Structure 1
């Protein structure tokens, strides 16, 4: 007999014991006759047997399902996130089992995201660190043909590492909800123009032309430094995926009660199988990760986090080419 069964049986016996005591008291106080007392006592015998059988029948499936949940919990504790309780009941124990299974599913998702994050970070750290190490060894051994050129390359790799650390820190603040916004009146056209000037050297290297299209000035209440990062991230992504001799267009307009900012490039656009996860952290359309083509796959994820913090939305538009649309409340 399970512990649960013994408890059920004990509870039933306590109830029956109380009933027998009440019958005896009633007989002593002359509320019932001795004949009735004897009859009731004998009637309690099959009641005791029936209670025992019912307690065992009720306790057995409950104990079995509780053991299933315990076994699944032990497997999860040992690191097996594929474990499920397998309990299907229409009662509180079934609800607890369902919530346990949901918890394990979420833990599995978090663990996969953590593994992807560590893999992405280690991969993106490896390239600049290897380049820095090679440059330092070449300068130290006196085999660098042009030490100044090597120092310029080292500075470039340090900037890449610094950018990666900044992105990771911002991503952590967005996930934890600790990002503080310094809001103020912001002209979207000026913001986009400044971001385009910042990235114009990269566009010229890739032979890409940047254009700004705005019918009228659009002013919103927002954090200028954070939204500037959003525009820079979207522009950087568009420039890196735009073909040579093409145009990256930034459109700004009013759309009802929203401000609309669109970044459009003439590249191949977002692959169909990538569109649903484009704004997830540490993901890229191109799996060949290289700090020269981006940083850890955080650009679109950070953009979404900042826009969401401003109570706005960001999503992919229809092509041709790559189209990203940002909507912010006016």
Structure 2
């Protein structure tokens, strides 16, 4: 393929050179007919054109070789990607338009590879999260159907819990998809962040009590910001819920609100072991878990922090792992 491409490009360069030389010959002949050039000079010029023609052909092939080689590399990489190999890259480095095309091609494949990895991770995570509740539901249904359930009411209550967990998973997946695609419409208004934090704490207090965890709010004056109240409330719930699940029994989860540099700062702190250092900021990526064995009975399919990040980013804010002991998540929102 390289040789065929080289010959094809070489012929194009050669014919372009021949075209220029042909124009030169025609102009020389016309000049001779108009008596601008005598016969002796005309013969001399025509003899000069012979080595010039040969040199043009050689130069055409020499110049086409690196272009053909890099075009072939780009074509082969495109064929491999088309065949499903998303590790293929062109490897072309040139300071011209072909080099620019190769760079954009490699960037496109990088994005495709990232999307494919996220898709594979999503399918693996969803399969993992559905396996346990579906198995529990099946076991409960079979026990009730066969009349061997010791306490049918308790079995039904457990089934209801599993169905609710599945509903939460579906809602989170739908919300994550809408946030990732940018199709979730925000309805901004002036909101009281202190009030949102207080409502989230009260909503999650039964969960904290069941886990023997105390909830506390640390705030001075009321702090306001502009944003979608429903979505910001979801951020508070997700962060507090995540903190409760990682807080040891007998500890306290604290929600702190303050103002720094013209921005509203929200810090959710638990007294657990903190985020695994190897995860870093990847804890905010979808389906990332500190505990790979966790299922939706004890977590939110690895979507809670990812949803919080997407919502905060949509509000022009930032979210990151904060400094301090235990697990610390810090949110910054423009006021």
Alpha-carbon RMSD? 1.3
> Which range moves more in the overlay, 98-107 or 72-81?
98-107
Residue 8 in structure 1 maps to residue 8 in structure 2: no
User: What SS does structure 2 have at the residue aligned with 1:82?
Assistant: coil
Q: What's the CA shift for 1:116?
A: 0.6
Superposed CA offset, 1:42-78 (max 9, x none): 1110110000000010111211111111111111111
Number of the residue aligned with 1:199: 204
> Which range moves more in the overlay, 141-150 or 193-202?
141-150
Number of the residue aligned with 2:3: none
Question: Contact 1:234–1:300 (CA<8 Å) still a contact in 2?
Answer: yes
Number of the residue aligned with 1:320: 325
Please list, as runs of the form range in 1=range in 2, the aligned pairs for 1:1-330 lying within 5 A after superposition: 2-330=7-335
Question: Contact 2:281–2:321 (CA<8 Å) still a contact in 1?
Answer: no
Distance 1:97 1:221 in 2: 43
User: What SS does structure 2 have at the residue aligned with 1:89?
Assistant: coil
Deviating above 4 A after TM superposition, structure 1's stretches of 4 or more consecutive aligned residues are none
Distance 2:240 2:178 in 1: 23
User: What SS does structure 2 have at the residue aligned with 1:2?
Assistant: helix
User: What SS does structure 1 have at the residue aligned with 2:323?
Assistant: coil
Distance 1:297 1:218 in 2: 29
Question: Contact 2:281–2:320 (CA<8 Å) still a contact in 1?
Answer: no
Distance 1:143 1:122 in 2: 29
Question: What TM-score comes out, normalization by structure 2 length?
Answer: 0.95
Q: What's the CA shift for 1:15?
A: 1.0
Distance 1:258 1:276 in 2: 21
Give structure 1 stretches of 5+ with no counterpart. none
- Number of corresponding residues: 330
Distance 2:94 2:260 in 1: 50
Q: What's the CA shift for 1:106?
A: 2.2
Distance 1:321 1:253 in 2: 20
Q: What's the CA shift for 1:92?
A: 2.1
Question: Contact 1:257–1:329 (CA<8 Å) still a contact in 2?
Answer: yes
User: What SS does structure 2 have at the residue aligned with 1:32?
Assistant: coil
Distance 1:149 1:63 in 2: 73
Question: Contact 2:90–2:102 (CA<8 Å) still a contact in 1?
Answer: yes
Distance 2:12 2:112 in 1: 34
Distance 1:256 1:56 in 2: 63
Question: What TM-score comes out, normalization by structure 1 length?
Answer: 0.97
